[in-house]
Amino acid sequence: MITIGTNDYWRVMITLALGSFVVFCNLYLFQPMLPHMAEQFSVTETQVNWLFAATTLVLSVSLVPWAVASESIGRKPVMLIGLFSMPLISVGMLLLPSLTGLVVLRAMMGIAIAAFASVAVAYMAEELSSSAFNQAIGGYIAANSLGGISGRVIGGVITEVFGWEQAVITMAIITFFGALLVMTFLPKQKHFTPQYGLLRYHNRAVIKHLKNRTIVLAMLIGGVNFALFVNLYSVMGFRLVEAPHFLPIGLASLIFLCYLPGTISSKLTAIWGRHYSPIKGIMIGTLVSFSGMAIAHFESIPLMVLGMCLISFGAFFTHTLAYSWVSQKATNAKATATALYLVHYYIGGSLGGFLLIYCWQHGGWLMVMGGSSLLYTAILLLCHQLKQNSIDGSKAVQLNRLQQ
């Protein structure tokens, strides 16, 4: 196994972080453009949300098939297929510039993104030692955060100055060169064993994971957490370009720099995990995020920025702990387990947008806070169930040992 500080460790860390960076740049490129695209195509906020929701929804249903494919052909080939497909899909967007065409191609982008997202963590879990994995997962998710920030800022600023087409071209070029670097420097797997009889094997693996309450509860937490986090940002984008602020798209997109505290908090989970319970960490992250939503209620840009920073810090802390929980609690078929987590994660992101944007359209930020509060409460209830389930599991293990 690859240990901390070796050359292979840094190659894995840097190349997977780079791949994660360009993947999340592409995923979130269109999010700051939504107000601009709604105006350009003369549609409502809820309708234009399909440009983002189509990607996350199709991404969610593509994760498990890609994880299945990776069990026979390997993790690295699957990741490279996804990375090299993304620039080609971006070129297609320039050839089909209608709203319908863009939604279809953004859905195809979700398939390509899923190829990388479904297996990157499984690659790390198989190749890295336990301590190296705990260190690397924080860096990987920090790269998610930086990619999300960069994609949104590139999308917003370039759209404001040159148009959305130039933003798409810029991202296609960045992605192509990123894919070349990953292909060149990511080490081949040494601890991967191909699995055959894939459909039957993975049907059993999926059923086994879904019967494991300890894993399923963490997956649900991840889904609700992402439903809140990503869509509070979408709502904030609409809020900043409307009265009383009237910010231009490029300037409003800078609100996504508030992702940076999430980059920090995802790295802090490695320290937290060595000393404290992951479940307590998830609850703390949720409460920090909730406080940020409340602070962002005030029509003061400094307070809105502070609120979004707290939302990011708490949400990424929660996400990293829940994600690593699933990968570590799964005793086999880890790629399938992490893919199932991401299925819940991105379905939550897709559906949460329609809830929170609907709240925004009909009641402003106050109604958004009401809808969000229900979701925050759901996370805390799920944490309580996860804690109780873990206690029951520990008692069962101790009982079995005594009987033996």
| Burial of 247 (C-beta count, 10 Å sphere; 0-12/13-18/19+) | middle
pLDDT in tens, 53-70: 999 999 999 988 888 888
Residues 6+ apart with CB under 8 A from 45: 34, 35, 38, 238, 357, 360, 361
CATH number belonging to domain 7-186+198-403:
1.20.1250.20
Q: Rounded to an integer, what is the distance from CA 103 to the centroid of its chain?
A: 20
Question: Closest Cα partner for 226 from 147, 286, 281?
Answer: 286
pLDDT for 389 equals 87
| pTM attached to this predicted model | 0.84
- What does the alpha-carbon distance between residue 187 and residue 40 come to, in Å, rounded to a whole number? 45
- What does the alpha-carbon distance between residue 10 and residue 80 come to, in Å, rounded to a whole number? 19
- CA quadruple 59, 218, 152, 294: dihedral sign: positive
pLDDT for 196 equals 65
pLDDT for 112 equals 98
pLDDT in tens, 250-297: 999 999 999 889 888 988 988 898 889 999 999 999 999 999 999 999
Low-confidence ranges of the chain (pLDDT < 50): 397
pLDDT for 92 equals 97
Question: What's the length of the chain?
Answer: 404
pLDDT for 398 equals 56
- What does the alpha-carbon distance between residue 300 and residue 271 come to, in Å, rounded to a whole number? 34
Angle between helices 164-185 and 7-28 (to 10 degrees): 160
Question: Closest Cα partner for 249 from 32, 52, 99, 37?
Answer: 32
